[in-house]
Amino acid sequence: MFCVKLSCEVWLVIFGTLVAVLLRGCTTLHPYSGEGSPPMYGDYEAQRHWMEITTNLPITEWYKNGSENDLMYWGLDYPPLTAYHMFAAGKLAELINENYTKLHDSRGFESDEHKLFMRYTVLVVDILVYIPSLVVYFYATECQGSDKKVKPLSPPLSTILGLLYPGIILIDHGHFQYNCVSLGLAIFATVFVLKKFNIAASICFCAALNYKQMELYHSLPFFMYLLSSCVPKPGQSTTSGIIKLSKIAITVVLSFLTIWAPFLFNMDDFLVVLQRQFPLSRGVFEDKVSNFWCVLNIFYKLKLRFTNYEMMRICLFATISMVFPSSIDLFLRPSSKKFVLALINSSLAFFLFSFQVHEKTILLVAIPVILYFPQKPFVCFWFLCLSVFSMTPLLYKDGLVIATVALMIFYSTSFQVSIEHFYRNYLNASDGLAEYYRSLLHVLLNIEYKKATQLDILKLTYKEIVRNRKTLKQFAFHLFMFTSLMGSVFLSFLLLVFDPPERYPDLFPLLISAYSAVHFFGFFVYFNVQQIKIPQEFDDIRNVKLKSS
């Protein structure tokens, strides 16, 4: 009889993955965006409508406004790879029930069977793309970007905590979208970059970018890091650098040509598709997003003082300015340990300062934060909790409050159990996390007060603080993190329980937006500092034979 012996860690990952899939399945039982809300419904209807359009119209008409394709009703505004995905899903839907995608007549179609079909289309690509990408990342890059002074969280625990992140579960399987495809492809691209498979990385990232244009949030780190890899190092010829750059450039061009081929035979077709990717008419932000412009708009009404075109230029300048330090540092002092941090800093700069931002785009920041989890678990957990909190008004509007609360409790408990297990091994103590906090409190309490004057007590206290300032900083950090998270719980409670004043109907969403934005800006500074502190990596530099004088 054939038998495979698996280690406990592998079984742990298998169990964690099955639990993550189960949670996704449970979330699908909750409402979706725009359920039973005509005439526009929501994102669920948008995806269904794209299946309708792509399966009933010629490919050159998918992005064009006309009598058969009203772009004002959820017109297709994602790159061609999304359209091809919707075409494949739409063809499958036709086989099951032609009413799912019948042109015009299927508008707003809702049934239990159709809901099940749509939910399964997300679950399948999640299992095929996103879940494997996280598993591969944490095992393929184990200890690659870690600080030698700090023991990183183990791959099994990091994988499980990444798969259980409530944000993507709630948006993809609750609200209803296919973010797992582009984000999973971006994670695969990250794996290939860190393993120095630049051609494979280029293909995967081109696919991610051509599935959702929001992957531009991650584009600068990929561009800068791949470009820096082509700069000749000591012991390498200029020709080798040009060849590397040519290979990457040809790969990118061929990838785009392949994906965009049906729209390249006519310049008008190409321009229409391109224009649909960047609609200026929607404004600088949607709803109450937790970024700089939304908070500034509370005091200084941007939409009354600037046109959309003017705001686009302002946002472009602000975004480039904010992402510049991280990108230049990655190019001039390249290191694989910096790459994930550069992804965080680039995506966070785009989220905070770019044009046309939605609450859901915080997922583009959350994913690289998940990848950084092994190095800074507490900081990343804090950020990920706040990322879900920042989407609370959207999730509340979608009727996903119960799912959000349940998933957050489960995630927090899983984090506590994982960290408990980690510190039991790290500290060789049976108490685990309790021992960790006991060691922090010991610093505060390890001062002899007996038979000492008040001046002696002050001197002893000062000496202990100086001697243990690092431990005290950790204690202060945990206290501040706890206070911050309790603040988010309090604001969520206000939104769910109390009605806002009639004069300020958006008071609670604005408070959540401002509270989250302040935190995100703090995280932006922190992650930039963390990146700049990492020195340049010299692994690729060949041995150079010095000429004897």
Convert the pLDDT of each residue in 463-504 to its tens digit. 666 666 676 777 788 889 999 999 999 999 999 999 999 888
Residue that wins the pLDDT comparison between 441 and 466: 466
Q: What does the pLDDT look like over 498-523, one tens digit per residue? A: 999 988 888 999 999 999 999 999 99
Stretch 27-51: mean pLDDT, rounded?
Answer: 92
pLDDT score of 11: 87
pLDDT score of 43: 92
Query: Positive or negative, the Cα torsion across 123, 127, 129, 130?
Result: positive
β-strand partners of 285: 357
Grade residue 151 by pLDDT with cuts at 50, 70 and 90.
Answer: low
Stretch 181-208: mean pLDDT, rounded?
Answer: 96
Continuous segment of H or E residues that includes residue 43? helix 43-56
Query: Positive or negative, the Cα torsion across 368, 12, 378, 412?
Result: positive
Residue that wins the pLDDT comparison between 67 and 548: 67
Q: Are 222 and 43 in contact (CB under 8 A)?
A: no
Stretch 187-206: mean pLDDT, rounded?
Answer: 96
Q: Does residue 5 register a pLDDT over 90?
A: no
Q: Taking the mean position of all CA atoms in its chain, how far away is CA 313?
A: 25
**pLDDT, the chain, mean:** 88
pLDDT score of 1: 42
Least confident of 63-72, 127-136, 219-228: 63-72
Q: Are 505 and 467 in contact (CB under 8 A)?
A: no
Grade residue 426 by pLDDT with cuts at 50, 70 and 90.
Answer: low
Residue that wins the pLDDT comparison between 414 and 421: 414
* Percentage, residues of the chain above pLDDT 70: 86
* Percentage, residues of the chain above pLDDT 90: 69
Cα dihedral angle (101, 107, 108, 111), rounded to 10 degrees? -30
d(CA 243, CA 412): 48
pLDDT score of 84: 97
pTM over 0.85: yes
57-67: b (≥16 Cβ within 10 Å) or e: eeeebbbbeee
d(CA 388, CA 484): 14
Closest CA to 363 of 182, 96, 507: 182
Grade residue 20 by pLDDT with cuts at 50, 70 and 90.
Answer: very high
Stretch 18-47: mean pLDDT, rounded?
Answer: 93
pLDDT score of 450: 46
